[in-house]
Amino acid sequence: MKNPLESIPQSATTTNKLAWIRWGIDCLAAVLLLLAAAKFAYFPGDLQFTNLVQSTVGENVGWARTVTGLVSAPSIYVLLGITIALAWWMAGWRGAVLAILSYLVLWQAEPYLKMIAARPRPSANLVRVFGNSSGFSFPSGFGLIFFSTIGYLAVLAHQQLPKATRWVVVTICGVLLLIGGCARIALGAHWLSDIYGAYLIGFVWTKLLVLVGVQSAEARTQ
């Protein structure tokens, strides 16, 4: 019986193996970060970075509240619709279906991940806290949902688009993710590590979707 991998160029097979190895390393890093967050209320550098962001933006946090609202209804449905449309453009119906799966799984996973870490929110005794964020802090629920859309597009673009276009899309998505993370930190709702952890978990999940749902599917059809 003919091995299906024989029809795939050796260079492509090697690249695919390396992608899986990198994914495994990222997955391990995400698990270790989750376990560390369960032991420490915040990490070295978290407090200093929050002070830097808050001293930079001052009391003007209206923009941060607007950005935060992007992951709440009805704005999230608009954001998800845009994500689905762009994913369809980049990877056809598979990309669109995976966009929905990216969002649904991270949305549902949030409370379970937070119960594992059970990390408290930043204290008003340490930083300025605007509003009344409830629940645990790690991983950031905003970060998970935001990455399930914007981050997914970056991962998909990196896999599917030509080099020039790829980096334009990835850069735009990266800037949006940075703004989103800074918004939550400016409000005193999360530490930097909460945002980073959410983005890392989101990356592990969306990368898995792209590796299995898009890249492997395309390899089988070649």
Domain ranges of the chain: 10-221
Exposed/middle/buried for 16, CB within 10 Å: 0-12, 13-18, 19+? middle
Q: In Å, how far from its chain's centre is CA 173?
A: 10
In the chain, alpha helices (H): 10-37, 46-57, 62-68, 75-117, 141-146, 152-160, 163-186, 192-209, 216-221
Inform me whether the pLDDT recorded for 161 exceeds 80.
yes
Q: Residue 38 and residue 119: Cα distance in Å, rounded?
A: 6
Share of the chain above pLDDT 70, in %: 90
pLDDT at 97: 97
pLDDT at 166: 94
Q: Residue 104 and residue 85: Cα distance in Å, rounded?
A: 16
Q: Residue 216 and residue 29: Cα distance in Å, rounded?
A: 24
The tokens of 120 are what? 């408290």
Span 36-51, average pLDDT: 97
pLDDT at 142: 97
Span 44-70, average pLDDT: 96
The tokens of 146 are what? 């935001």
Closest to 132 measured CA to CA, from 122, 141, 144: 122
Which tens digit of pLDDT belongs to each residue from 106-134? 999 999 999 999 999 999 999 999 988 88
- The average confidence (pLDDT) of the chain is 91
The answer to whether 173 and 199 have CB atoms below 8 angstroms apart is no
The answer to whether 207 and 88 have CB atoms below 8 angstroms apart is no
Span 169-176, average pLDDT: 97
Inform me whether the pLDDT recorded for 56 exceeds 80.
yes
pLDDT at 2: 47
Q: What's the pTM value of the predicted model, to 2 decimals?
A: 0.90
Span 21-47, average pLDDT: 97
Cis peptide before 139 (omega within 30 of 0): yes
Which tens digit of pLDDT belongs to each residue from 190-201? 999 999 999 999
Q: Residue 17 and residue 132: Cα distance in Å, rounded?
A: 46
Report CA-CA distances (Å) from 151 to 59, 102, 106: 29, 10, 12
pLDDT at 213: 82
Inform me whether the pLDDT recorded for 217 exceeds 80.
no
pLDDT at 215: 67
Inform me whether the pLDDT recorded for 36 exceeds 50.
yes
Q: How confident is the model at residue 155 (pLDDT cuts 50, 70, 90)?
A: very high
Span 98-104, average pLDDT: 98
Q: Residue 178 and residue 154: Cα distance in Å, rounded?
A: 13
